[in-house]
Structure formats: structure tokens, C-alpha cells
A and B are shown apart, each in its own frame.
Chain A
Amino acid sequence: MINPARAPFCAIFLNEVLVNSKRIAPYALMILFAANALLWWGWGPAVRLGWATNSDYYIVRNLLGFSFLLGLPIFNAVIMGDAVIRDFRLGVDPLIFSKPINRAEYLLGKFFGSFFVLVCCQSAFVITLLVLQAFRTSEMIVQPVRVFPYFKHFLFFVVISHLVLAAFYFTVGTLTRNAKIVYGLAVCFYPLYIAYQLFLLKGLPLRWRTILDPLLLNSGPGGGGFGHSADFLNRFVVSYTADMIANRVLVVLVAAVCLAILYVRFTTSERPGRVEKFSVLNLSTAAERVYYDSDSFQETRGRLLEAPDSKHKETQRILPLPEVARRNEGIRADVNKLIAALSVEFRLLRAERSLVVIMPLAIFLSVLEVAFYTVPPDVSYSAAYATNTAKLLLLFLIGITVFYTGEAMHRDREVRIEPVLWATPAPNNVLMLSKFLATLCLTFSLVALVGLSAIVIQFLRGHTPVDITAFLITYSVILLPGIVFMIGVSVALNVLLRDKYLAYAVSIGTGAGLFYLYSIGYNHWLYNPLLYHLWKYADLTGAGSNQATILLHGIYCLAIAGACLSVAHLFFQRKSTKGFQAEGRLSGTAWSILIAVVSVAIAAVTGFTINSSVP
């Protein structure tokens, strides 16, 4: 009898778990989720409102929040999206498919292996909450210790919800073999889900809202518990109604349908686009390819070396390389190289297909409010348009700066051009700054396009006169320093962490943590680089009270960005000439340290001034 543990499905499953256990992303996610559980336990509404931290209601509330917030649908895509793509990318696919394994075993092994890893990561959240029952602060209400409800609700509200998302991402990733499409869909999850809630579910009776909501966010007491007494909530027992069970069955069925479609459509063949085009150009000397054994090869080689078969070959061999002047020293040479590297970065960005989706989407969502809703003119219509679009742009600016910086910083390694580039006499600052400036130009062009769209909409809606200065001031004073700051920090994170997914996880985790802090009232200028909820247009014109602070804050952000870039240059993986001097001039290392020190000093002075000028 065959040992089930040795069946192909189990082998694929275990291998998937093993491969994921060597990645950093699952551990980073576990830490992030556990930290989040700690935050919600100690600083969530339960302590403030007298809710028991381990009541049935609060467990479910936390799990539903966890399932939706914190970018969990995006992390789901990170784990599930490239499970099969990885095999094709690494070229392991022929080795696997040449074994006696069928499609179902392979696909299910891959799917459940990855999903198991995802559930393990998610369980860090629930296990942390479970363990935290043993601790309490003086204001905290804790009911007798319970274990089973944590896992029961986790399975019901989180695991099943994410099963359908996982099946969808896995199906799309496997069929398209393009991880970027999966990540694009993951990024689109929130707008699509919110639109689904607003435009489809909102008008339906509660029963249908419950049945048709894949995350079950409409179940339980409404209003996030805020309309009920603490006593009521502490005694509330979450029971699974028939509608909720029907929902879970529906969700599992949809997941099964996704996997069934995948099973039918999945092929193991090489995609035509990836096949090397040997026949496109006929550069061979012979009319057709002839393969030799070693003896005839030597003979033929001799003939080829001694008797070229055409005059063309003769000409080709004697062509001498022309002498060229080279300039590798001095700032001018570095600037020339930077321009060259930057133009290549632009060419590569132009070929990025994801931008075709992201840019129009970002522009559309940023101008959505000014295009379709009432815009109350605060100081002027232009000021209102500029303020509104600047605020809505923030999320996209964060996403674009984080993801495109990561892509740019790791692209050379991924396409394996790094050793060739690193052997050229281009200094590290050229290789690094080209990525920084390319992402900066990309985000500036997005801001410019949003500004232009807003101006056109303002004109079309008849909200004239159009005051371009309002847009220029708002974007340059509010958005520009924040963008430079974020790209600078992203560059440093990608250099220091050496792994783009880890950098993404850290960036998203930090961003989510900061927004959470801002939302619960811990909002301060020193740790709010995007000035979220800290400014209004009047501040920019001098009519408000914060004009000086905003300008200082801009300098503070730029100084931190400068320090981050210097640190990134210092720790850049490609080594340069050792020591502080090279050929009688300051070396790159010396410049980095100097700029880092000056930047930190400026950041410290401006930070101190800001801190003393705001309450």
C-alpha cells in the first residue's frame, strides 16, 4: 500500500511549505500580524469603552477587522500569486512535469501548500490574541480564559474568506503566469470591494447582504459595536445563522469553481512569447544547422578559422575597433553617466505594462470627487480642487513610490544584468540615483497629470477662474517633500533589507501602523511625512497659522530623504574604492558620510523647531 505521505500531492504540498519556509515574507507577515494583535489588544476601543478583550463579540470584531484591514487581501496575493509562476520562472517545470504526476495533484499540492503557509501567517494574529488573555492592564476587562472560540471564529471568518481570495489569485497567477497581474488585482481589491458594498449590497435586505458578502463584514451587531452597551457586547455570543453558513458554503463553492476552471485551462507547455526565436534571424554561416562529433568539429573549426566562406567574413575579421576618448573622472563624467542610466530607466518604465493600468486608475480616483461631487470653495475653487486631489492622491503616491522603487532597485538583479553593470566604471551613486530619480519623475508626472485633469474638470464644470498657482503651491509644498521622503526611505529599505518583498512588507506595515496611530489621535508632525490631516489650504497662503511649520516640515522631510540616500549609498552592495580619498579627491564613502551628517543635523534642527512650535 502506498504511504499517503509519499503521494505526489503530499510531496508537492510539503515542498511548497518548505520553499515558503525559506522566504522572509511569511515571517515578516507573522511579526506584522502579531504586532497588530498586540496593538488592537492594548490600544483598541475595548480598553476605552469597557469591552472585555476576550469576549465572543470582540474576538469576532478583531478577526473581521483583521480579515479586511491591514492589507490582508494584498498579502494573500503575495503568498498565493506566484506559487506556480515560480516553478516556470526557475525552470523547474520540466523536471516536475516529467514525473508521473497529474495536473490535479500538482495544482492542489501547490494551492494547499501555499494556502497552509498563508493560514499559518494569519494564525499569528489569533494566537497572539489567545496568549494575551494571560495579561491585563488595570483598566482592561478580561473574561475567563477561552481557547476554542478563537480557533472556531478564525476558521469561520478568516480562513474561509481568504480561501476564495486565495483560489482567485492562484488561478489568475497560474493561468497568466504573470505575478504583476495578480498584484494589480490585489491592489484593486479595496476599491472594487468598497464599490461592491456601496453599489450592490447596500440596497439589499440584511439577509442577502450577509449571504453575498465574501468577508461577512455585515454580520453581528452593526456600527462596529459603538451603538451598544459594554454589558450587552460582553455577553453577546456570536452564533452562526443559516445565512452565514450559506455564505460560507457559497464562498467555498466559488473557490472550488475557480480551481476547477484552473484545472481545465492549465497547460504545462511553454508560452510562445518566451520561446527563443532561433529562426527569426539567420546569422549562421551554413545554410542549415549541422551538429558535429568532436573529431569533425575540430576539422570544421580549422576550416572556418583558416578559410572564411565569404568576403563578408573576411571584412568582418579585419575590422579594427576605432579609438575612442573616454571620460571617467570628475563630476561631469558622473553626470553624463547618470543621464545615460536615467534614460535607460525611463525606457524600462515605458515598457512597464502595469503603468497602463495604474496611472489612469490613480488619475481617475484622484479626480473622482471633484468631477462628480459638490466642491465647496474654501478660499477659491482652484484651492479646493488642489486640496482635494492632493489628499486623494496620497494613497497612490505611497503605493507607486514603494512598489516602483522596489522594482527599480531589484530589476538589475532579476534580469541578471547586475554583474555586467557592476563591472563598468560607473560609480554607485549613478546606479542608485538613476533609480531614485526615475521613480521621482514617475510620481511627479502622475501629480502633474492629476493636476491637469483637475484643471480641465474645473474648467468644464464652470468653476472659473482657474488659478494655476493654487495647484503649484499645494503640490510643491505638500506633495513634493513627502514624495522625495518616501522614495528616499524606500531606496534605503531596499538596499538595507536586500529583499524587495521584505521592503514592501515593512513599508506597508509601517504605513498601516502610522495611519492607525493617526486615526486614533496620535498624529504629530514629526512622524507624519505626508502631513495627513495636518494642513489646510489657508496654511499655505499665510492666512492659517501653520505656514512656517509646513515649510520647516518640508525641509525636515528632504533632510531625512538625504540621510536615507546617503545611508543607502554607504551600504550599497556593490563595493567601491576603500578609504575616504580616491585619486586626491573625496571618495564616495566620504561624501556619503558627509551628506548623512549634514542631513541628520538639518533634520534634527528642523525637527526640534517643529516640535517646539506645535502644541
Chain B
Amino acid sequence: MLKINELKKTYSSRIQALKGISLEVPLGMFGLLGPNGAGKTTLMKIVATLLEPDSGTVEMNGTDLITRKDKARRMLGYLPQEFGLYPTLTAEQMLDYFAKLKGVTDKKQRRALIDILLERVNLSSARKQRLGGFSGGMRQRLGIAQALIGEPELIIVDEPTAGLDPEERVRFHNLLSETAGENTVVILSTHIVSDVSNLCSHMAVIRHGEILAACTPRQAIDGLKESVWEATVPREKVSALKSRYQVISSQMFEGLARLRVISKGQRPSEEFTPAAPALEDYYFDLVS
């Protein structure tokens, strides 16, 4: 289990990115959800030992990741939000390099590991291709492959599906869900709600450097039972309804507005019908 306690970080530009975050992350896939600029990447960088917090602790199975960085890096697999690769190396050479840096010294074992990793991320046929010619999706898959080297106990993936097309996104989800074993913590930081609802057993919502909620996606959705309502109304009525109710989405359709509102325990008005709550509703309810 990963325990984060009272973590604070203020950048030299005086932006307070984390305001004393405390969080317990159990084994399995954990979704960290938040809008852009919420502090997700700062938190991920601190957990990945790349950034020094001002105060607070991060513990993984009893090891303090802040003070014992060398030990922390041995249990870590990290896929950053933005990363590059040496364009002149091939996929195989790149993974071989990372395997060596992660301490896999036996050549036969390393080769077997790389073969299976490339197979898993569907890059076997591109193993000899230079990374400079890789597409965004291929690069991302190689990124997850390198993060899996060395049986990491903690895998951090920061905004992994941003910029991927739907097909690559599905492929990536499959990979991630296969990765989260019984002894691994996988933190998926994202602003895409469906990524969390599809993959994660636990989640937290972060905004302005603070944790707004931590629960399971099921608990989040259950908490909104009989609170989500939908209606299709003329466009002129929208502003009046917006001022009276908490509107979480508003879509224009054939000259009419399709509204989705949250109203706990009470029907907003006659034109509204009950709707099944989704994780998006919970998220917008929290951050709006």
C-alpha cells in the first residue's frame, strides 16, 4: 500500500501545487482524477522521486520514498505525461538499456523479458525500427513496456491516453488492466473520467492541490442515486434553469438543449426525468 501524508509543494513562482495532501492507495488500479492544473503531475513526480516536496511523507510498503530515493527507484515503474526516446535507437535497444539500468544483468533473461514485453505491447514487428519513426501510440506503448521492466511494485502512469486515438486508447486500457496484478499499485493520473470508470477499483479527485474525495467508482455512483435528472428544453429556458439548478452538462440538439442536472432527493421540475448516474456526474458535481 502507498501512503501519502500531508504532502505540500510550492513552486518558486509561488504557485502552491499541493496543499497538504493525504491519501491511501491500495493494491490494484487507482485513478487520480482532476482537471488540468489540479496538481496531479506534481504529485506523480514527487511519488516518482523526481521532485522534492516542501514537507510530508510518501511511504510504499514501509519505505519512505522521499528520503530513500535509491530504494524507491528499485520498486518503481514510471510513465510520465510527456516523454521522449532516443530517436536513433531501436525499440529493442531502448528496452535493453532500461532493463540494464533496472539491474537485469543476465543477458538471456533480459532478452526473454524484452521479447515478451514487445509482444505484450504489440511492437514485436517494430523491434528493429528506429524510435524516431514511431507514432504517438507506439511510443506510448513502448513507454508502458519500459515501466513494466523489473517487476515494479508501484507503477505510475501520468495522463497516458492523452493524444491517443480511440483504438490505441482501448489497447492501452487493456494493457494497463492486465498489468495491475495482486502485488502492484498502479496509479493512473488522468483528467479523462471514462479512463477511471473503465479501469480503476479505487479513485480520488484532486483540485487546486487538494483531495476533494477518495472512494471507489461504485461508491461515487451510488452516492448520486436518484439525484441525476435529464430534460430536453427550449434554448431560451436554459439560462433560467442554470441559475436554479446545478447543471452538469448542456448539449444543443436540433435547436433544443439537452440538460443534465443534479438535484438531490427532489425532481427539479415537470420536464425532468430521472437518469442513471455516471462517474462523470460525480466528478462534475465535485469540481463545479
Contacts and interface: CB of A to CB of B under 8 A. Distances in A.
Contact of A325 (B86, B87, B106, B146): B106
Contacts of B77: 423
A278 interface: yes
Contact of A337 (B88, B100, B112): B100
B149 to A, nearest CB: 8
Interface in B115-149: 116-117, 119-120, 122-123, 125-126, 129, 133-136, 138, 143, 146, 148
Interface in B75-104: 76-80, 82-89, 93, 97-104
A276 B135 contact: yes
A45 B128 CA distance: 63
A6 interface: no
B136 A276 contact: yes
11 contacts: A277-B133, A289-B167, A291-B166, A316-B122, A325-B104, A325-B109, A333-B105, A340-B97, A347-B86, A420-B143, A422-B49
Contacts of B116: 319-322
Contacts of B93: 344, 347
Given A344-B89, A347-B86, 16 more contacts: A289-B167, A297-B166, A317-B178, A319-B116, A321-B116, A322-B112, A325-B104, A326-B104, A326-B150, A340-B97, A340-B100, A419-B45, A419-B48, A423-B50, A575-B52, A576-B70
A323 interface: yes
A8 B87 CA distance: 36
Interface residues of A, number: 62
Contacts of A583: 70-71
Interface in A286-310: 286, 289-292, 294, 297-298, 300-301, 304-305
Interface string A239-269: 0000000000000000000000000000000
B40 to A, nearest CB: 14
B174 A419 contact: no
Contacts of B68: 577, 582
* Of listed B69, B103, B194, residue having the most chain A CB within 10 A: B103
Contacts of A98: none
A425 B86 contact: no
Contacts of B101: 337, 340-341, 421, 424-426, 430
Contacts of A424: 73, 98, 101-102
A89 interface: no
Interface string A403-426: 000000000000111011111111
A320 B112 CA distance: 11
B258 interface: no
Interface in B180-220: 194, 198
Contacts, number: 180
Please give me the 4 A-B residue pairs with the lowest Cβ-Cβ distance, nearest first: A416-B84, A340-B100, A423-B78, A351-B88
A427 interface: yes
Nearest to A308: B174
Given A276-B134, A321-B116, A340-B97, A420 B83 contact: yes
A319 B103 CA distance: 22
Contacts of A337: 100-101, 103
Given A304-B170, A416-B84, A575-B69, A336 B117 contact: no
Given A297-B166, A324-B109, A348 B67 contact: no
Contact of A280 (B67, B113, B133): B133
A423 B106 CA distance: 21
A297 B83 CA distance: 27
A425 B126 contact: no
B138 A281 contact: yes
B165 interface: yes
Interface in A563-605: 574-579, 582-583
B78 A420 contact: yes
B98 A325 contact: no
B3 interface: no
A333 B103 CA distance: 7
